[in-house]
Every structure is written in C-alpha cells, then in structure tokens.
C-alpha cells in the first residue's frame, strides 16, 4: 500500500477524466511490463513460458485493491487509486471509467497523501466491501445506495486505517489495520490504538475481534483453500516477511509462524510485501520487492513477475485464470494456468 511520494500534493484531490489522461488498452496497442523470473520448474504448471504482463492502463497515482466483480462474461474489475480518493472500473470493452469518488475519505479538510480506499473485496451477497483510509473504517456498498459501516472502532477507539481484507466462506471478514492511511502514520496525533492489528468482523453478529498484534505493519491477507491457514504480509523494510497463522475452530488465530523472509531483497528492488492472492492449489501470488512473488504452499519460491515498479497487489479475475496486478501507476494483467479462489 506504499506509493512513491514524488508527485504534487495537489494531485491527491485532482480528479481527471479517465478518457482524457488514462491510457487504456481499449484505445492503444498492447504493451507489456517487466519480465518473468523462474526459480523452479514447478512454475511451468502455473505460468506459460511465453506469458507476458500486459499493461491495461496507466497514468494513475498509486493503484491498489483489485477485485473482480460479476462473472467472466459480464463482470468488471474495480481497483483503488488511493491518493485520488477514487475507485476505477475496467472492462475489456470500455477500458477505464471512474466508478466512485470519494472512495475512502468524505471529510472537508486535507487528510494526507493516502485518503482513499485501499483493499476491495466482494462479500457473500456480491456487494463491494471497502477498506477506507480517511474515514478509518471497513464499509460495504449497499445495493440500494450508500454505504454501511461494518467496523470503525475497537473497544471505543478508532481504527488506524484498514488496509486489506479476506473473506471466509462463512461470511466472516478478516482485515489488517496498519498506520499507512494516517497522515503522519504511526506518529499521527489522531491515532487512538496502541497496536496495529489483524481483526475479524463476525458475519453472525457484527462483533469485532482482535486476533493478533504480532506484526508491526500487517498488510496483505488471504486464506488457504481449506481456510485452515491465514497468510498475512508485513510491509516493514526492517522485517519484510509473510506470516502464516493456523485458523482455530472458533475462527481465532494461533501464534504466527514465518512463511518467508524477503528482508535481504529490500532496497535491491522496489517495493515491500503487500497484497496477495491464493490459487485453488494453495500457491501464493504475493506482491513484494520487485513484483509478484509466486510461492508453493510449502513456501518454496517458484518464480517472480518482475514489474520493475513498486507493486501493491494482485487478484484473479475474468474466468479465474487472469491475474490482475496493480503496480505503481499501472494496471496490468497476465494469463496463468492457475485458477484463483472463488
């Protein structure tokens, strides 16, 4: 969820016409980004040797939170541009369109460089769920219009800035709450909680449970196919790791164990561990230094989609075999042999 700060602060509130400044594939020849790095022959079962990361659109400020809505034929991709406080929509037919503004901050004063929505996902009813930085809440876009707040405080103290979320099959919502959306981050005077936690919102009664405070900077989050393991990324440059937690029968988490440590790669390539997705075979597709890291469920690094950019997140969409990647100012897509979790 980090982004390059080399842009004018004014651009945070500057909304542009998608057709005017955002170059989409609907109007331009195919372009590609980066390279595929292969570390193990198992990657051939997941990515064709000739696969390319296709640029669908660019010209954004910092893209995040991709989610596929609808089916393969009539669906569309939604993704956040956090500094612009906006959500954009992509379809193969129409390219880029503005979907929502504001997306994560509805105040009337300046609220830092990351006010908008971050992680997006679809709930059991097909509604859009948003992790909102500026309004410091997890919300759902209701079918009849407007939003409903799912969580905005823990024991009466406001959340920091909900970042990313994962849905369990019973409807429970798990999310991370680091400081990145606060204007001064961990030093912000508006901060009310002493910890940066991972939480669960109960589908049954809406209650909010703090699951762990083990990670200093919890970020991307996702379940294994059997939902017995929860993966959480940490975007701390001093401890750039992915952790795994056993999900107990009551939905709480065990003490975490290290899944993979990428700290030694920080600074050599742009980016940190951030958003992630899991395919039906249990492989992790996780943004990290350099691009999208691809792990087996045994934590073996199989390969990397090197974008050359700070890469924030990824999500499967269309028929489940297209991996959409958000990387700095880009929205990209690559065809896979894997299939994302429903």
Q: Would you state the pLDDT for residue 7?
A: 40
Note the pLDDT tens digit of each residue in 264-291. Answer: 999 999 999 999 999 999 999 999 999 9
**Model pTM score:** 0.93
Partners of 131 in the beta sheet? 138
Q: Would you state the pLDDT for residue 170?
A: 97
Q: Would you state the pLDDT for residue 36?
A: 97
Q: Would you state the pLDDT for residue 22?
A: 54
CATH numbers and ranges of domains, the chain: 20-335 (2.120.10.30)
CA 227/CA 338 separation, integer angstroms: 18
CA 58/CA 306 separation, integer angstroms: 17
Angle 13-114-215 from CA coordinates, rounded to 5°? 175
Q: Say which residues have a Cβ less than 8 Å from residue 126's Cβ, sequence separation at least 6.
A: 69, 70
- Virtual CA dihedral for 217, 219, 275, 280, nearest 10 degrees? 120
Q: Would you state the pLDDT for residue 145?
A: 87
Q: Would you state the pLDDT for residue 19?
A: 44
pLDDT tens across the length of the chain (342 residues): 444 444 433 343 344 444 434 544 445 678 999 999 999 999 999 999 999 999 999 999 999 999 999 999 899 999 999 999 999 999 999 999 999 999 999 999 999 999 999 999 999 999 999 999 999 999 999 998 899 999 999 999 999 999 999 999 999 999 999 999 999 999 999 999 999 999 999 999 999 999 999 999 999 999 999 999 999 999 999 999 999 999 999 999 999 999 999 999 999 999 999 999 999 999 999 999 999 999 999 999 999 999 999 999 999 999 999 999 999 999 999 999 999 998
Q: Would you state the pLDDT for residue 144?
A: 86
Q: Would you state the pLDDT for residue 29?
A: 72
Note the pLDDT tens digit of each residue in 213-268. Answer: 999 999 999 999 999 999 999 999 999 999 999 999 999 999 999 999 999 999 99
């Amino acid at each position: 969820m980090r982004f390059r700060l080399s842009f004018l602060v004014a651009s945070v509130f500057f909304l542009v016409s998608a057709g005017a400044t955002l170059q989409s594939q609907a109007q331009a020849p195919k372009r590609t980004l980066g390279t595929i790095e292969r570390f193990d022959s198992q990657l051939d079962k997941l990515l064709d040797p000739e696969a390319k990361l296709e640029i669908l659109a660019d010209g954004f400020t910092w893209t995040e939170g991709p989610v596929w809505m609808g089916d393969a034929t009539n669906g569309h991709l939604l993704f956040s541009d956090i500094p612009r406080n906006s959500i954009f929509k992509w379809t193969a037919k129409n390219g880029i369109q503005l979907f929502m503004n504001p997306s994560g901050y509805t105040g009337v004063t300046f609220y830092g460089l990351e006010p908008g929505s971050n992680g997006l996902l679809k709930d059991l009813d097909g509604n859009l769920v948003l992790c909102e930085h500026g309004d410091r809440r997890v919300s759902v876009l209701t079918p009849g219009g407007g939003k409903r707040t799912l969580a905005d405080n823990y024991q009466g103290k406001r959340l920091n800035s909900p970042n990313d979320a994962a849905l369990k099959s019973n409807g429970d919502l798990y999310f991370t709450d680091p400081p990145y959306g606060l204007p001064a981050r961990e030093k912000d005077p508006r901060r009310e909680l002493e910890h940066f936690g991972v939480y669960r919102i109960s589908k049954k009664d809406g209650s909010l449970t703090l699951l762990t405070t083990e990670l200093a900077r919890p970020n991307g989050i996702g379940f294994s196919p059997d939902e017995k393991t929860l993966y959480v990324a940490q975007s701390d440059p001093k401890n750039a790791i992915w952790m795994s937690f056993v999900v107990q029968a009551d939905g709480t988490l065990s003490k975490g164990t290290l899944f993979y440590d990428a700290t030694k790669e920080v600074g050599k390539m742009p980016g940190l561990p951030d958003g992630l997705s899991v395919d039906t075979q249990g492989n992790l597709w996780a943004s990290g230094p350099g691009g999208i890291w691809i792990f087996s469920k045994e934590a073996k690094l199989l390969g990397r989609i090197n974008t050359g950019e700070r890469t924030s997140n990824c999500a499967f969409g269309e028929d489940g075999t297209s991996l959409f990647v958000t990387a700095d100012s880009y929205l990209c897509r690559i065809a896979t042999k894997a299939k994302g979790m429903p």
